[in-house]
Structure 1
Amino acid sequence: MLIVDEHRVFAESLATALSAEPDVEAVAAGSVPAATQMLDRSRAMGSPFQVVLLDTGLTSAAPAAAGEEGAAAGTAPPPGGAGGQAPEMTAVIDALHERFPALRPVMLATEDDAPVAARALAAGACGWIAKDSSLAQLLLVVRGVLRDETHLPPALLTGVLRELTRDRHHRSERQRLVESLTPRELEVLRCMLAGLGRKAVAERLYLSPHTVRTHMQNVLGKLGVHSTLAAVALARRAGIPPAD
């Protein structure tokens, strides 16, 4: 089990406590990039992590999905800074699922928040648990997730179901945002979905890298996101296919 939390003392203490269980081996990472390296290394060694506990307040950059490193590096975020907690969190979950399909994410939350929990579950999280829960409760959730169960606090259930119902409207909104793109911007977005960086997109579409950069920034602005990864995640949910 991998615990990802920028508060290293908390993460390492939790890993130590969990590892005291005879059937649990837990380690800690202080950032998403560090966690990605550990996940890659464990998979290469033939003993991949099965569960990752993710702090809902992570602010580190999401990992690039396989083949997307160039695209992420080739696009500067538009003015305005990083996005909110939920968009960044769902981008992290999306990227982890893309890169490590068998990994089961469980969210560690400082407080119960139905809208954020609903977005996490919609992105592929398998569970949600408060940080002030007992170790026994956390182990119950983790073991349930390993049996392919989804765990959610009863107090959140009604709110999460309401939010997931509203998500039907959000899907329509994502499609509307994508439809606002010009044909050329849509081509660039599909190249981003295929994991192409700015130089590769320029060569494919016979454009200058500067023009591609402008198109990429326009795509981010029209989609209302602040990173290539978030744009790719939104496009996937809207059903946009990658470039052939």
Structure 2
Amino acid sequence: SAAGALGGISLTARVRAAHPQTRTVVLAARDDPARAAAALQAGAFGWVAKDSSLSRLLAVIRGVLRGETHLPPALLTGVLRELTAAREHRTESEQLVESLTPREHEVLRCMVAGLGRKAVAERLYLSPHTVRTHMQNVLGKLGVHSTLAAVALARRAGVGPVDLGEPARVSG
């Protein structure tokens, strides 16, 4: 199922983050270039269809243990296309994020951390009205209509959440 594949991809990302030396192989119900590309981006080393023979599965696992990455040849063109499109999409997102002022960037990082307007105002020592203005400016410059869309674009551009453990920097 789509949910199963996406669950496997997020599990791959969590395993990779927690245990960078662990190599994962995705056992997929069907060959799907978009999901295979997402799995590779999440840190998977291999993609094997569930209906593959045991000898094929063992060959992939042995290859992955030697440091190789395995994809079915039929998927290669589609996966490369997906990764190229993702890179272009990311570059576009990065350019939009670069158009923000330092204060707007800080507000965006607070949004990525899931903070609401009142929490952002308290954290940055601003009035809620000023934060609302900054948030509207961020949405406008990013060309999106919701906080959720702004956060998705920010994540694509590699913008991380503000560290809630450290005090806010006071700047213009």
* Fold equivalence (TM over 0.5): yes
* Distance in 2 of aligned mates of 1:219 and 1:180: 17
Amino acid at match of 1:126: F
| Ranges in structure 2 where 5+ consecutive residues have no aligned partner | 136-144, 164-172
Partner Cα separation in structure 1 for residue 154 and residue 94 of structure 2:
12
Q: Residues 102 and 161 (structure 1 numbering): CA distance in 2 closer, same or farther, change over 3 Å?
A: same
Q: Deviations over 1:171-207 (max 9, x none)?
A: 22221453476754521443577xx674986654236
**TM-score between the two structures when normalised by the length of structure 2:** 0.61
Larger radius of gyration: 2
Partner SS state of residue 129, structure 1: strand
Superposed, 1:96-115 pairs within 5 Å as 96-115=15-34
Which of residues 97, 117, 120 is equivalent to 2:39?
120
1:173 maps to 2:101? no
- Percent of aligned positions that are identical: 56
Task: Name the amino acid aligned to 1:178.
Answer: V
Q: How far did residue 109 of structure 1 move? A: 1.5
Q: Taking structure 1 as reference, are residues 93 and 185 closer, same or farther at Cα in structure 2, changes over 3 Å only?
A: farther
Structure 2 residue 79 is matched with structure 1 residue 163: no
Does the CA-based 8 Å contact 1:181-1:222 persist in structure 2? no
Q: CA RMSD in A?
A: 4.1
Higher helix share: 2
Alpha-carbon shift at residue 208 of structure 1 (Å): 8.3
Q: 1:153 aligns with which of 61, 67, 72?
A: 72
Q: Is the 8 A contact 2:109 2:162 kept in 1?
A: yes
Do structure 1's residue 133 and structure 2's residue 52 form an aligned pair? yes
Count of paired positions: 150
The structure showing larger relative contact order (alpha-carbon pairs under 8 Å, at least 6 residues apart) is 1
Consecutive unaligned residues in structure 1, runs of 5 or more = 6-54, 60-88
Match of 1:56?
5
Is the 1:108–1:128 Cα contact (8 Å) retained in structure 2?
Answer: yes
For 1:22, the equivalent position in structure 2 comes to: none
Aligned counterparts, 1:86-101, within 5 A: 89=9, 92-101=11-20
8 Å CA contact retained: 1:112, 1:130: yes
Cα shift at 1:149: 0.8
2:149 to 218, 221, 226: 221
